[in-house]
Homo-oligomer: A and B are copies of this chain.
């Protein structure tokens, strides 16, 4: 049984593990003040061309989102998110548990735009309602789509004009930036957002996300929030060393490209067999619609998510690839699909 369930089915990329081992017995400072974290942060600052950015390493996406958003907002300030946003749906109410309302916005492609946000600003008029303050976007989104440079610049401009912060959840930033035809670079994100994170867990690391704080006003006392929310690891070095491995020699982008390539192979096989998709994803998550007998057949050899059906006879499914996906498995999947 081969799994296309997600992009965290395996451990770390071997080069990441190797660096972890090589540095394992060196004595270092605790709590992310070690030399590995410092080097990794410098490397990232260089890549994003933002020498003043603050960079903090955290364990996972939900933790990063909740620590960042709760540090950035005052109690009455709310987050605006697409209805498919990870914080709105799949973080067990983490943002609300930190005291903030997530205002949900309908969006057909998982992305937000000034046009979608504006009506929500108009709706919130006074102190009887929450105060919209931060726009949360995911890139790639939870349904596999990604932002163009133009779209990000438009959001940045709109947020600036409306006293809104712009925050990007980059759990799958690698596959977004390496998607076919994507004109967005990591340094653009540093320029056009107030903060964002670079996801490690789903792109080669054992665990770890690198939060980048671009706006000076959001930097103060951030390590207090990390500590208070349980996000400051005693051996913070293990996060630093992994990002060091990922951003030396461009490994991060190579791995993401690899994930996109196997996804593309999968996409072609599926559409070649005449099946359609519920989302126009160019990244490593595909959402094909399959009839139940196809699903039954595939499920004998492959694991993947099947969502409750909208139509009687077809079901939305989710197939995910990663740097660890075996090309042969994709070919086997295609063969299996062709058997029908």
Contacts and interface: CB of A to CB of B under 8 A. Distances in A.
A305 B242 CA distance: 29
Interface string A94-135: 101111111010000000000000000010000111110000
Interface stretch (A70-78, A282-290, A293-301): A70-78
Interface of A: 2-3, 5-6, 8-12, 14, 17, 20-21, 23-31, 59-67, 70-71, 74-76, 78, 89-94, 96-102, 104, 122, 127-131, 201-202, 206-207, 221, 223-235, 237-238, 308, 324
Contact of A10 (B9, B25, B89, B90): B25
A-side binding surface: helix, strand, loop or mixed? loop
Contacts of A233: 59-60, 201, 207
Given A27-B3, A235-B8, A63 B230 contact: yes
Contacts of A63: 229-231
Given A76-B228, A101-B96, A224-B92, A17 B8 contact: no
Given A10-B26, A30-B6, A30-B8, A62 B232 contact: yes
Given A94-B228, A131-B221, A234-B207, A12 B27 contact: no
A17 B238 CA distance: 12
A323 to B, nearest CB: 11
A322 to B, nearest CB: 10
A251 to B, nearest CB: 16
B75 A70 contact: yes
A229 B97 contact: yes
A98 B101 CA distance: 10
A20 B9 CA distance: 14
B60 A228 contact: no
Contacts of A17: 20-21, 24
A67 B230 contact: yes
28 contacts: A8-B234, A9-B29, A10-B24, A10-B25, A10-B26, A10-B28, A11-B235, A20-B206, A75-B225, A76-B97, A76-B224, A76-B228, A89-B129, A93-B100, A93-B129, A94-B229, A96-B100, A96-B101, A97-B100, A101-B102, A122-B308, A127-B223, A127-B226, A127-B227, A127-B232, A201-B233, A206-B238, A230-B230
